[in-house]
Structure 1
Amino acid sequence: MSNAAIDGVAASGIAYRIVEHGPVRSLAEAAAARGVAVPDVVKTIVVRLADDDFRFVLVPGDRVISWPKLRALLGVSRISMPDAATAKAATGYERGTITPFGSTTAWPVVADERVRGREITLGGGAHGVALAVSADAALVALEATVADVSDPEES
């Protein structure tokens, strides 16, 4: 199997596994299908700082972006979430498949500090495909800024 995400993670030189699974409707289903805990399903969220300035934000599955923390880290007063078409144009990936690996543009990566020290799964560039990687190796390969940028997900 090959796609831009798999080619991108392979080119990074870090160890990875491809995890293929069927359709999932929730993070809990994704975790079960991937054989990991919910926090290890890391969401890659694309945020827009300006018309042509985006960031990838990596957040554990059981957490959400803290907009005040992220704005403070980036030194901006406003951040928005692009619509699906804009996110695809910026990354080359559809929502639910997004990963910094192999993106059409290598936007800077911000990762929540809670992803460190574990094996995580990220979008694999196609629906039903995930990349399992060492978070620490991925953060180095992606030259990620690591900080506290999330809050617990409210149930």
Structure 2
Amino acid sequence: MTTEHQPSEGEARALAALEASGLRFRITRHGPVRSLEEAAAARRLPPERIIKTIVVRRGDDDFLFVLVPGGRTISWPKLRALLEVSRLSMPDAAVAREVTGYERGTITPFGSLRAWPVVADARVAGHPVSIGAGAHGVAATVDGSQLTLALGATVADVTEAEGGAGDA
């Protein structure tokens, strides 16, 4: 007996937005993962090609998405300089869900309740990457350069190696 996958509301929204974007993508569904390395193995990509979508607050009702490659974290000084602001913060999980429609761990620019601006780290472009698709264990593999174009992203060096180990 085969059971057809019934997508969650978030996954359905993300998939509809991906389809509407015109991007070529491949969906990967896998069970729970506990680390970047497990996610990379499940998606058959190197860890640095797994893209985290981080919600950042610029001001009252003013948010943006930052696309961060695996093994990296936002460099707050670089991001503040790019955006020409003196303060940025990360909203708590409840606010992030309220402004995107996605819970943490499932956030993606695709199908967000509002089309917030996107900043993509410069390392996203130039090769296949995997970005969340609105549900735990669901991701879309896309061309990173096409991804940044489809999202109208500002592409800039806005990350640093996790643990402050500098660039590899």
Please, what TM-score do these two structures have when normalized by structure 2?
A: 0.90
Find out whether 1:94 has 2:103 as its counterpart: yes
**42, 60, 64: which one pairs with 1:51?**
60
**114, 118, 123: which one pairs with 2:123?**
114
Distance 1:45 1:68 in 2: 16
Distance 2:49 2:134 in 1: 17
**69, 86, 102: which one pairs with 2:78?**
69
Distance 2:78 2:160 in 1: 9
What is the CA distance between 1:26 and its match in structure 2?
1.2
Aligned residue in 2 for 1:144: 153
Q: Which letter maps to 2:119? A: V
1:7-35 deviation per Cα after TM superposition (whole angstroms, max 9, x unaligned) = 11110001011100000111111111111
Could you list the runs of 5+ residues in structure 2 that have no partner in the other structure?
1-6
Which secondary structure does the structure 2 equivalent of 1:3 belong to? helix
Distance 1:26 1:118 in 2: 22
Point out the structure with max Rg over C-alpha: 2
Which secondary structure does the structure 2 equivalent of 1:42 belong to? strand
Distance 2:156 2:105 in 1: 23
**Deviating runs (4+, > 6 A) in structure 1?**
none
Q: Percent of aligned pairs with the same residue?
A: 62
Which secondary structure does the structure 1 equivalent of 2:55 belong to? strand
**15, 33, 40: which one pairs with 1:6?**
15
Q: Which letter maps to 2:103? A: E
**31, 44, 49: which one pairs with 1:40?**
49
Number of positions where the alignment pairs a residue of Structure 1 with one of Structure 2: 155
What is the CA distance between 1:62 and its match in structure 2?
1.3
Find out whether 1:103 has 2:130 as its counterpart: no
Aligned residue in 2 for 1:85: 94
Could you list the runs of 5+ residues in structure 1 that have no partner in the other structure?
none
1:80-117 deviation per Cα after TM superposition (whole angstroms, max 9, x unaligned) = 00000100111111111111011110000000001110
Distance 1:94 1:12 in 2: 22
Please, what TM-score do these two structures have when normalized by structure 1?
A: 0.97
1:52-94 deviation per Cα after TM superposition (whole angstroms, max 9, x unaligned) = 0001000100111000000000011000000001001111111
